[in-house]
Amino acid sequence: MRCVRCGLVQHDAPTCKACGAPRAVLPAQVPLRAAPGLPGPPSARDPASLPRSEAADLFQQQARNRRKTALIIGTFVLFVILLGVGFDLATGSLLPLPAAGTVLLMPVGGLAALALSSTSAWWSLRHGDRAVLLSTRAVPLEALGAADPRGRQLQNVVEEMAIAAGLPAPRIYVVPDPDPNAFATGRDPEHASVAVTAGLLDLLNREELQGVVAHEMAHIRNYDIRTMTVMAALLGAILLLHDWAGRLSRTGAVRVGGRGRGKGGGLFLFLWLLLVLVAPLIGRLLAMMVSRTREFQADATAAELTRNPVGLAGALRKLEGAFSPTRSINRGVAPLCIVDPLGLKAGLREGFWADLFATHPPMAARIARLEGMAYQPSARP
């Protein structure tokens, strides 16, 4: 059991060994998913009911992220190679290559696709964070001037949470957007960045800001940032291809069945269909793979780091109230954010289909879990 006051772990001591808080202050353990309206001791916060992220648990999360990063890169490379080979079959761009005795056909498009996709996958792993930050037009906090008290507070809060997580302090960016949102990106804890919108700084008080930053720090610590950054960069590439194919069909460059060139035309059509229909599905699938459960986990870790679930719950409540689309953040970056910046599905609807296609868990469920940890509802805005 952990002491409420100082966070020390101990077993069945009548009073806390470190700070002397009597056992009576320490309420008995409750299940994590206590109903939100459940009456509990009025002001008791029992960190013992928080899910402890033991070292083993953290390693599991990190291992899962390594697996998923590999899976995402694999899916992307495979998809692009499929496009390249389709191109070869459609245009017949197979170069004959004299080999020992026989003649091998070299698929030019397929090889080009392999080179292109592995290069962009490597690039997304290495510099994906820069692309993500650029696409949201985020500016470094230092560029805003040190005199701004809110900026100073943000820097303090980020450094505090870095200490709590035992990590180096990440770089801090501000996105000039009035809608409140936040995300973290980077390759590993040593090369990580946290970005918040200007609207978030205006809306939240210190305690709530701390909850949000702790949530982002949790993503950094368990390497969610790497998986999600690679995903955002590659998803961006797929969406770009998809938009391009869609434009082709609108301008009439591709007429369904109009060319009448027989087999080649049919294959070209197949390629185009692949881009227009399958690409967004693959994008969705990738996006769904990486979010949701990890949002719950990051919320729980944030509560563990701050020992104050109410702060983050209050922040989520305010973010939910301010649900307008965050315009600076595009589809590719959406799964990285603390709340869905597109302002649809996840927060407003629940149910099987909304669940299946949402990148974020329903807001009500997240708030209920946090309040279950704290026994008390957060202040309603």
Partner 1 sequence: MAEWIVGGVLAVLILWVILTYNGLVRLKNRVQNAWQQIDVQLKRRHDLIPNLVNAVRGAMQFERDTLERVIAARNRAVGARSPREAGPAEGELTQAIGRLFALMENYPDLKSNQNVLQLQEELTSTENRVGFARQLYNDLVAQFNTRQEVFPANLMAAPMGFKPADYFQIEAADRAVPAVDLTLR
Which residues are part of the catalytic machinery?
Answer: 216
**Token pair listed for 60:** 């599991």
Give the residue among 289, 288, 292, 309 at the shortest CA–CA distance from 300. Answer: 309
Q: Which of 62, 91, 93, 153 binds partner 1 (CB under 8 A)?
A: 153
Q: How far apart are CA 210 and CA 214, in angstroms?
A: 6
Q: Is 161 in the site for partner 1 (CB under 8 A)?
A: yes
Give me the 225-264 binding string for partner 1, x by CB under 8 A, dash otherwise.
----------------------------------------
**Cβ at position 182, least distance to partner 1 in Å:** 19
Give the residue among 381, 359, 262, 365 at the shortest CA–CA distance from 315. Answer: 381
Q: How far apart are CA 358 and CA 340, in angstroms?
A: 9
Give me the 305-324 binding string for partner 1, x by CB under 8 A, dash otherwise.
x-x-----------------
Considering beta carbons, is residue 7 or 266 the nearer one to partner 1?
A: 7
Q: Which of 48, 71, 75, 160 binds partner 1 (CB under 8 A)?
A: 160
What are the residues facing 2 on neighbouring strands? 9
**Token pair listed for 170:** 């990440």
Size, binding site for partner 1 by CB under 8 A:
27
**Cβ at position 55, least distance to partner 1 in Å:** 7
**Cβ at position 307, least distance to partner 1 in Å:** 7
**Token pair listed for 296:** 């719950």
Q: Is 163 in the site for partner 1 (CB under 8 A)?
A: yes
16 to 55, contacts with partner 1 by CB under 8 A?
17-20, 55
**Cβ at position 7, least distance to partner 1 in Å:** 5
Q: Is 64 in the site for partner 1 (CB under 8 A)?
A: no
Give me the 183-222 binding string for partner 1, x by CB under 8 A, dash otherwise.
-----------------------x---x------------
Considering beta carbons, is residue 9 or 356 the nearer one to partner 1?
A: 9
Q: How far apart are CA 229 and CA 129, in angstroms?
A: 6
Q: Which of 94, 116, 144, 164 binds partner 1 (CB under 8 A)?
A: 164
Q: Is 57 in the site for partner 1 (CB under 8 A)?
A: no
**Cβ at position 6, least distance to partner 1 in Å:** 6
**Cβ at position 211, least distance to partner 1 in Å:** 13
Q: Which stretch binds partner 1 (CB under 8 A): 154-162, 221-229, 231-239, 282-290?
A: 154-162
Kindly report the backbone phi and psi dihedral angles of residue 321, in degrees, each rounded to the nearest multiple of 5, phi listed first: -65, -30
Q: Which stretch binds partner 1 (CB under 8 A): 153-161, 191-199, 232-240, 316-324?
A: 153-161
Q: Which stretch binds partner 1 (CB under 8 A): 36-44, 162-170, 259-267, 328-336?
A: 162-170
Considering beta carbons, is residue 157 or 373 the nearer one to partner 1?
A: 157
Considering beta carbons, is residue 156 or 324 the nearer one to partner 1?
A: 156
130 to 149, contacts with partner 1 by CB under 8 A?
149
Q: Which stretch binds partner 1 (CB under 8 A): 27-35, 70-78, 158-166, 236-244?
A: 158-166
**Token pair listed for 319:** 């973010």
Residues that bind partner 1 (CB under 8 A): 5-10, 17-20, 55, 149, 152-153, 156-157, 159-161, 163-166, 206, 210, 305, 307
